Amino acid sequence: MPTWLITGANRGLGLEFVTQLSQDAATTIIATSRSLSPETLARLKTLDSKATLHILKCDTSSPSSITALGDQVTALVGDAKIDYVLNNAGVNVASQQTSLTVTADAILENVKTNIIGPALIVQVLEKHLKQGSVVMNMTSGLGSMADARATESTKCTPYSISKAGVNMLTLHQASGLREKGVVVVCVDPGWVKTALGGAGAIMEKADSIGGMLKCLKGLKAEDTGKFFTVVGPLPRQGVHCLLLLSNYPWLGKAAVFNFNRTTQSFDDAYLSLSKQTAMPQNSMETFHPFPRLSLELRIQIWKLATDDRVLRVRKTWRRKQGYWSPTPAPAVTRACWESRQHCNYQKAFIIDSSPRYIWANFDRDVIKMRSGLLSEGKLPECDEVRRLWIELLSEQGWDESQGFCDYGIYKLEDFPKLERFNLLVDNGLGQWTNFIDRTNWGACPRGNVRIVDGNTGEWIDEETSTAYQYYLDVARKYFSQNKMPTASRHPTLTHEEVNQYYDRLHLPQEQRIFDVSLLSPEDAFEHLARLQRYHLAWVPFENLSLHYSRCRQISLHPEDLFKKIVQSPGRGGYCMENNALFAFLLRSLGYRIRSCGARTHDGKAFGGWSHQVILVTIADEVFVTDVGFGTNNIVVPLSLQKEGEVVNAVHQETIRIIRSSLEGNEDQSQKVWVYQHRLNPDKTWRDCFCFTDLEFRPEDFEIMNLTTSQSPRVFFTQRAFCTKMILDESGEKIVGRLTLQTQVKRSVSGQSEVIKEFTTEEGRLAALKEFYNIEFNKSDASSIIGTTAEIKAT
């Protein structure tokens, strides 16, 4: 028949104690409340109590009220034993005050209820405390000296002081009552959702009190003077803590050692309730032993949890967005709040205009960045950096050697602690052999400087540079008669040009991606498909330069293409123009691409090489993409690995890629890829073009372009046309097409209508302006006169 006395029992944790205890009919509960008003006792009174429940009045901040309680208890139980006295009532007055603002009143208010109350309660009930009785003083993590030492910003100063005080009171009471065999402990209930804990707390009352009751009922004489804390269900991140623990096999021993040691001094550490808690034991997500370790030990673990990383530092082109890194943040910073506070990583590379930061450990991390960042002004934390890698490549992939030699090298003066330095170059090591010796590398010892060829991985340092130069001289002599081959460089666009291209495609800002190497394969494909759709919808397939121009030339030079298609409103081009430009874009974004030739089918047979497609490899899957075939264009990149798969195109149309031999070829064992289109399921498949995966070079397309743009036999030179696709409002689907030849026809969702007819050149030019935003100057506009493509007024 245990008897429990609980202060502050009308709400919060006190009420939860009564709620759980009241289910045992053998229990007697003396619940005290500061007020006995019906409103205050409303919940206490409605409890379905099987136990014997007495409700007494006690204001624990008032010595006279406490004395009165002592008398009432004696009147109630005579000199019988009270098994458990729970000093639960507590306040957190003036929680916003800090050590620099705290007032005497605030400290006094907290001390009265949180220290004086429990002290006097024990005094007035002393005669009822007998062998085996337990006194529990409610404490808080905020009262822990060790926690406060380890916290960057302390809080709730007056409350924390009072809870530290109740810890000391507990030790004194333990000492004073030891001879009587009374066990006195203090317990931190965890952070619990009550009026005091606030809504942001992480534990439910039932979990906290369930754990505490198990703990209290299991206490032994040797537990007197201990400090317990309830560990509740942990947030998901707790799982990371456990993973980290597995890196430290020695920890098991250390934890046991620490557990025993701290029984002497609760100031130094927490002991959690281990087996006594109410926490489910079978779920890793809700319980694991990590929080049972002492705070000091946990802090050591957080500090040990470092990786050797190459930390790539970048800066967004819009200055205000600050520094960022594609390198994942260290695991320890993602475990929990405590790990972030105590780990050996700091928030770095912060600039005023941006909330961004990068977790860095300058003792361990190698900082890797492009040379452009050196010229951006002083790098934040540059005086902390010990290991640095600089890549001599601009954001657009251009070689930055010259800039580094002229300017960047002097910026190394900004790194006073530099211990190791690697320079990653893109143009071979030849020109760098002397540079190592004659250059001042700032604080970094010359012996710790390496110049690394980013393409081959070869490197030279102070010791090997002379030998390398000798090797080069010999090789040059040997090959002097032969011209060394140079790798062909494929053009790319600058960041600004990519942005202009995106403007031309009307690509929404939030969908603008500049480096797809950071994307998952699925996202990289998504972006490719999106670009293709927007291209087809905004950049027409047209051959107008062959008819509305004095020179009737098609240039495939990158600059000409960019000027014509991106910088001139409404203009597009034919296959080799649109696809060549699209290839620059894809390459600039980081796609692995290869341009290939294709043969178009004229309804009877495949002709010569006259078309261009782009093969894009994403995670080993090869897709064919095309933005220059016109009416029956591929509307979504098609996977070569999914040969024969039927893909929905516009409305009822379907498309596919098959592998087939070519009719008329002598060697029928040779197969090519064939792109086919079908108007609807009742129609037969129609061959559109075929291609192989052999890469075509710019020179190949130059040759093809000449015939395609000049031969009087090809339809490009005979008729003027302009076609573009129509996107739905969401930009997710191509729903139709808008074509112009001798009229303007719109076909959406299978319904075709002529929306403009014209019988003169003026009419066609007006339609080009109205529907495609294309305009020609007078000279070009009139140059069609007299050709077969002219619309002659009837």
Ligand X SMILES: NC(=O)c1ccc[n+]([C@@H]2O[C@H](COP(=O)([O-])OP(=O)(O)OC[C@H]3O[C@@H](n4cnc5c(N)ncnc54)[C@H](OP(=O)(O)O)[C@@H]3O)[C@@H](O)[C@H]2O)c1
The one catalytic residue in 128, 288, 527, 611 is 611
Shortest spacing between CB 283 and ligand X, in angstroms: 23
Which x/- pattern, by CB under 6 A, does the window 130-169 give for ligand X?
A: --------x-x-----------------------------
Q: Tell me: does residue 8 bind ligand X (CB under 6 A).
A: yes
Between 611 and 650, how does the x/- string for binding to ligand X read (CB under 6 A)? Answer: ----------------------------------------
Among 13, 125, 382, 767, binds ligand X (CB under 6 A): 13
In the bound complex, what is the minimum distance in angstroms from residue 523's beta carbon to ligand X? 42
Query: Which parts of 452-511 interact with ligand X (CB under 6 A)?
Result: none
Q: How many CB atoms are located within 10 Å of the residue 706 CB?
A: 12
Which of 84, 191, 415, 574 touches ligand X (CB under 6 A)?
Answer: 191
Of 186, 241, 575, 690, the catalytic one is 575
**Axis-axis angle for helices 157-177, 104-111 (nearest 10):** 40
- Least distance (Å) between residue 7 CB and ligand X: 6
The 3-class SS string of 427-458 reads CCCHHHHHHHHHCCCCCCCHHHEEEEECCCCC
Q: How far is the CB of 619 from ligand X (least distance, A)?
A: 49
| Residue 267 burial by Cβ neighbours in a 10 Å radius (0-12, 13-18, 19+) | middle
Q: Where are the alpha helices (DSSP H) in 461-618?
A: 465-478, 495-504, 521-538, 558-561, 575-589
* CA pair distance 779, 205, nearest whole angstrom: 85
Nearer to ligand X, 116 or 524 (CB): 116
Per CB under 6 A, contacts with ligand X among 41-70 are 59-61
Choose the binding region for ligand X from 192-200, 317-325, 357-365, 435-443 (rule: CB under 6 A). 192-200
Q: Give the total of residues touching ligand X (CB under 6 A).
A: 27
In degrees, rounded to 5, the angle at the alpha carbon of residue 255 between the alpha carbons of residues 254 and 256 is: 95
In the bound complex, what is the minimum distance in angstroms from residue 187's beta carbon to ligand X? 9
Q: Which is nearer to ligand X, 138 or 332 (CB)?
A: 138
**Would you mind telling me the total number of residues written for the chain in this entry?**
794
Nearest CB to ligand X, comparing residues 201 and 329: 201
Pick the closer one to ligand X by CB: 41 or 791: 41
Residue with tokens 């009087």: 712
Region near ligand X per CB under 6 A, out of 186-194, 247-255, 553-561, 612-620: 186-194
Sheet holding 621-625, edge to edge: 638-639, 621-625, 606-618, 592-601, 686-691, 672-678, 654-660, 647-648
Residue 611 appears among annotated catalytic residues: yes
Within residues 75-134, the interface with ligand X by CB under 6 A covers 88-91, 113
Is 109 or 365 the residue whose CB approaches ligand X more closely? 109
Among 109, 126, 188, 761, binds ligand X (CB under 6 A): 188
CA distance 584 to 570: 19
200-239 positions binding ligand X, by CB under 6 A: 201
When binding is defined by CB under 6 A, the residue of 125, 164, 192, 672 that contacts ligand X is 192
Count CB-CB contacts under 10 A for residue 4. Answer: 24
Active-site residue (options: 215, 626, 677, 687) = 626
Q: Do 623 and 635 contact (CB within 8 A), yes or no?
A: no
Nearer to ligand X, 112 or 587 (CB): 112
Contact 290, 237 (CB under 8 A): no
Pick from 30, 34, 581, 588: which binds ligand X (CB under 6 A)? 34
Q: Which residue has the tokens 């502050």?
A: 8
Given the complex with ligand X, which of 189 and 572 has the nearer CB atom?
A: 189
Q: Which is nearer to ligand X, 226 or 309 (CB)?
A: 226
The gap from C-alpha 428 to its chain's centroid, in whole angstroms, comes to 35
626 is catalytic: yes
- Helix (H) and strand (E) counts in the chain: 22, 30
> To the nearest whole angstrom, how small is the minimum distance from the Cβ of residue 55 to ligand X?
12
- What's the min distance (Å) between Cβ of 91 and ligand X? 5
The one among 197, 225, 322, 597 contacting ligand X by CB under 6 A? 197
* 540 token code pair: 């027409």
Distance CA 8, CA 157 (A): 22
DSSP assignment string, 600-664 = EE-SSSEEEEEEEEEEEEETTEEEEE-S-S-TT--SS-EEGGGTT--EE-STT-EEEEEEEPPTT
CB burial string 559-594: b at 16+ within 10 A, e below: eebbebbbeeebbbbbbbbbbbbbbbbbbbbbbbbe
| 764-792 per-residue burial string, b: 16 or more CB within 10 A, e: under 16 | bbebbeebbebbbeeebbebbeeeebbbe
**Which residues on neighbouring strands pair with residue 391, listed in sequence order?**
370, 424
For residues 91 and 768, which CB has a smaller minimum distance to ligand X in the complex?
91
Is position 575 annotated as part of the catalytic site? Answer: yes
| Shortest reach from residue 89's CB to ligand X, in Å | 4
Q: Which of residues 2, 158, 189, 225 is near ligand X by CB under 6 A?
A: 189
Residue from 3, 4, 12, 165 touching ligand X (CB under 6 A): that is 12
Of residues 310, 194, 198, 293, the one with CA closest to residue 248: 293
CB contact at 8 A, 422 and 453: no
Residue with tokens 């245990």: 2
> Closest approach of Cβ 52 to ligand X, in Å?
21
Which of 3, 4, 10, 125: binder of ligand X (CB under 6 A)? 10
Select 100 or 199, whichever has its Cβ closest to ligand X. Answer: 199
Considering only the stretches 10-18, 421-429, 477-485, 738-746, report the one whose residues sit in contact with ligand X under the rule CB under 6 A.
10-18
Binding region for ligand X (CB under 6 A) out of 97-105, 189-197, 684-692, 747-755: 189-197
User: What's the rounded Cα separation, in Å, for the pair 321 and 362?
Assistant: 23
Q: Using the minimum distance from each CB to ligand X, give the nearer residue, 60 or 258.
A: 60
Question: What's the maximum distance between 2 C-alpha atoms anywhere in the chain?
Answer: 124
Stretch that binds ligand X, among 195-203, 219-227, 582-590, 631-639 (CB under 6 A): 195-203
The least CB distance from residue 12 to ligand X, in Å, is 2
Count CB neighbours of 33 within 10 A: 23
Residues lying near ligand X in the complex (CB under 6 A):
8, 10-14, 34-35, 59-61, 88-91, 113, 138, 140, 188-189, 191-192, 194-197, 201
Catalytic residues: 575, 611, 626
